[in-house]
């Protein structure tokens, strides 16, 4: 295991976000969300200009994935919908509407087969209140897992046969086999458990290693396919939330929420030079999308 010594970070100027999350790299575009304000942003190529707002919803926006044919699939509010290029959201399903706890969607991603996976959580972090949902190509939504607290990710291997999912409040990343034809999940195996901080947003690089932002610990961790901790990159923000690899830099979102005395980098979108190929965001394929 190696720890990067004093990486040089730069921050995009402008706003510091309450809960920046959901970095996605697609067609040379870098996008992310500020969850609680319901906003989607695009990052400029350089760090001299502030992020540009792409859309704003009247409810939380957990994450988006590019949609075949244009627009985005969004995990928002209490469900999932299609976010058009005009910024309007058309609901597909709201599975958490009327739940026993006040719920919202959290992190979400498309897999290599075009399915969309989205986690939900209670606003108050009630243990076990969250679920993981799978949106299939025919537009049907299924509860794939339940009993989660704060689901983050998921992230997928290049062939889509393996899914990694963090239950952040419990400090653990699980690994699941994924049926290629149906999307059904096998039983969980414990991939990695953190002794400090919480695993948050994740991505798999071109070598099949898993990267995870570590909330509360100011670092990003890289894990080998067998779960061994391979690399630690210190981050100048206490609460890094998601991670993205562009091929020549590591980009990280962070959050200010809950900090009594946030520093200048808390809530910033940060980048540092890094020669590591990532994998572009997968595209969701949904009938009628």
Q: Which residues are annotated as a binding site for a divalent metal cation?
A: 21, 152, 200
State both tokens at 29.
């575009």
Q: Which residues are annotated as a binding site?
A: 21, 104, 106, 124, 152, 200
Which residue of the set 107, 111, 200, 266 is catalytic?
200
End-to-end Cα distance, the chain:
44
- Measured distance CA(185)–CA(199) in Å, rounded: 21
Q: Which residues are annotated as a binding site for substrate?
A: 104, 106, 124
Backbone φ and ψ of 34, nearest 5°:
-110, 100
* Contacts by 73-77, CB closer than 8 A, 24 or more apart: 73/108, 73/110, 73/116, 73/135, 73/284, 73/286, 73/289, 74/108, 75/105, 75/106, 75/107, 75/108, 75/116, 75/118, 75/119, 76/38, 76/105, 77/104, 77/105
For Cα atoms 191, 194, 200, give the angle at the middle one, nearest 5 degrees: 85
Q: For the chain, give the number of residues.
A: 289
Q: Which residues, 6+ apart, have CB-to-CB distance to 163 below 8 Å?
A: 111, 117, 153, 154, 155, 156, 157, 175, 176, 177, 178, 185
CB 253 within 8 A of CB 241: yes
Four-residue CA torsion sign, 96, 100, 103, 105 = negative
To the query of whether residue 275 is one of the catalytic residues in this protein, the response is no
State both tokens at 289.
């999308």
Cite the active site residues.
200
């Amino acid at each position: 295991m190696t720890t990067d010594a004093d990486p040089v970070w730069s921050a995009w100027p402008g706003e510091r976000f309450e809960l920046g999350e959901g970095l996605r790299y697609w067609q040379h575009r870098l996008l992310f969300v500020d969850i609680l304000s319901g906003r989607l942003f695009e990052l400029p190529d350089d760090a001299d200009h502030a992020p540009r707002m792409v859309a704003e919803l009247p409810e939380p926006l957990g994450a988006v994935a590019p949609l075949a044919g244009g627009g985005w699939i969004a995990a928002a509010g209490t469900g999932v919908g299609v976010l058009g290029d005009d910024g309007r959201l058309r609901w597909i399903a709201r599975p958490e509407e009327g739940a026993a706890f006040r719920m919202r969607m959290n992190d979400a991603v498309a897999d290599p087969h075009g399915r969309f996976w989205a986690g939900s959580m209670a606003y108050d972090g009630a243990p076990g209140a969250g679920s993981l949902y799978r949106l299939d190509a025919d537009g049907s939504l299924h509860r794939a897992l339940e009993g989660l607290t704060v689901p983050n990710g998921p992230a997928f291997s290049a062939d889509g046969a393996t899914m990694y999912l963090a239950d952040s409040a419990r400090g653990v990343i699980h690994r699941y086999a994924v049926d290629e034809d149906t999307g059904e999940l096998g039983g969980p195996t414990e991939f990695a458990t953190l002794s400090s901080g919480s695993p948050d947003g994740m991505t798999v690089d071109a070598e099949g290693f898993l990267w995870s932002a570590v909330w509360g610990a100011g670092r990003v961790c890289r894990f080998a396919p067998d779960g061994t901790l391979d690399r630690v990159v210190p981050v100048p923000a206490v609460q890094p939330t998601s991670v993205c690899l562009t091929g020549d830099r590591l980009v990280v979102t962070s959050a200010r929420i809950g900090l009594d005395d946030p520093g200048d980098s808390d809530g910033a979108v940060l980048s540092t030079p890094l020669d590591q190929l990532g994998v572009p965001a997968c595209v969701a394929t949904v009938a009628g999308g």
